[in-house]
Amino acid sequence: MLTDDGCRLWTEAGGEGPPLVFCHGGPGLWDMAGDLATMFAGHYRTVRWDQRGCGRSQRRGPYTLDRSIRDLDAVLDQYAGGPATLLGHSWGAHLALEYTLRHPDRVRRLVYVAGTGVDDEDTWKPAFRERVRDLPRGHDRASVVRQWSAEFPDRERAVAHAEAMATPWFDINGECNVTLNAEMARRLRETDLAAQCRRLRVPVLIIDGSEDLRPRWAVDSLAAALPDVRRVVLEGASHLPWVEDPDGFSGTVLGDPRR
């Protein structure tokens, strides 16, 4: 599909039911929600997309939060036809939250998975960096697979999980990553997002994995600010909880009484 400024975005839709739109992590990565789309295809019309400049989408900017929100709005225009459930993972959880704050009438429910909250990043990033300081660096596939394998506490299956994440493989968009991360850090430092969340009336489901390398207490102030929130921690899972506990994850999403 094309955005209003002519950027070509890769999308894929399937399944039947109310719309469920995935927002992938990164920034600078690509949609890895194929198993999620299969998981929920019998309950939702699932919509996957690669964000601007990422994966199978056209590699062009600008890389800004406003532009990302407009692109997500275009995806909803194309596929949703009404209020949609947004399921955002990691960076995508923050993108979905920011979209919901700006367009609450377009969001039926927000599923916020493995995000890092709305506090200044200095409250949690030092602890995260300490946990990952010995991991290899690099954006080539082999280095990234080694980095991603550290996310999984089940060491026997960690590399297989990371290989699956990296298949298919696309070049990571470093410019997108650096630019959007810097903007998000400024926004978290300079904007009282918790105050905006206190005015939000959209139901929010927060799903954490207990073993995520990113401290889960980083999300506490977000959960405390939201008026209509349910938070579930999947024990033994980490940053991709649907991979390690698919039954627990699907049961949490489908069993939410606000669904």
Report the chain's mean pLDDT, rounded to a whole number: 96
Query: Could you report the per-residue pLDDT of 110-167, keeping only the tens digit for each?
Result: 999 999 999 999 999 999 988 888 887 888 999 999 999 999 999 999 999 999 999 9
pLDDT at 176 over 80: yes
Interval 240-249: pLDDT, tens: 999 999 999 9
Helix ranges (H only) for the chain are 34-40, 65-79, 91-102, 125-132, 141-149, 155-165, 174-190, 193-198, 220-225, 241-244, 246-255
pLDDT digits (tens, 9 = 90+) for 136-149: 788 899 999 999 99
Topology of domain 11-122+174-255, CATH: Rossmann fold (3.40.50)
Whether pTM > 0.95 for this model: the answer is yes
The position carrying tokens 């993972």 is 89
